[in-house]
Amino acid sequence: MKVPRAALLGVLGVVLVVGVFLLTRSATPDPAPPVASAPTAPVPKTEPASSETRAAAVPASVERALEDRKVVILTFTQDGGADDGATRNRVEELEATGSDSFRNDFAVFTASVEQLADYAALVGDLGISQAPTTVIVSPSGDARVVEGFLDRRSLRQYVADALE
């Protein structure tokens, strides 16, 4: 049985179009979708700013918590987002109830993403790109960035890890 030349050219054309599509599709990777519940990897420790430099670029209450060697929990949110509100609530719950194992060892601060510049000396190099984002700074200066919703159990674990 002979296949008409036009049919062969048609099939060849479809194969070429699909092949080009797949090749160009893999050459430009899709941007990663925002992760709602999985935390990002810990951010490597950066060279800590001097007290004078840091004090000029963070609110005084944050500076006092850092000087007292507490775990600092900074949560940046936007108004209106369900994840933002839920994360803010989890962080405020931790502040209100604390934990028997680390009640006085942490300080909580919440701010809108528009206030990121107020915390530039602390979070400027961390690449915060979405809200909500929670930054957990250990007494030694290591910072962990958690983007997206943060549940109660994970938050407590991050604080406990920062105290180790």
10-residue averages of pLDDT along the chain (164 residues)? 75 71 54 41 43 61 91 91 88 73 80 86 83 92 90 89 88
Say which amino acid occupies 28. Answer: T
Sign of CA dihedral 39, 44, 46, 51: positive
pLDDT of residue 53: 44
pLDDT of residue 149: 92
The pair phi, psi for residue 36, each rounded to 5°, is -80, -35
The residue whose two tokens read 């036009």 is: 6
* pTM (two decimals): 0.62
Smallest Cα–Cα separation from 131: which of 88, 84, 79? Answer: 84
pLDDT of residue 124: 80
Is omega for the bond preceding 132 within 30 degrees of 0, making it cis? yes
Write the CB contacts of 127 (distance below 8 Å, at least 6 apart in sequence): 43, 145
pLDDT of residue 141: 86
**CATH topology assigned to domain 42-163:** Glutaredoxin (3.40.30)
Domain limits, the chain: 1-30, 42-163
Sign of CA dihedral 78, 146, 128, 33: negative
Structure tokens belonging to residue 73: 């929990």
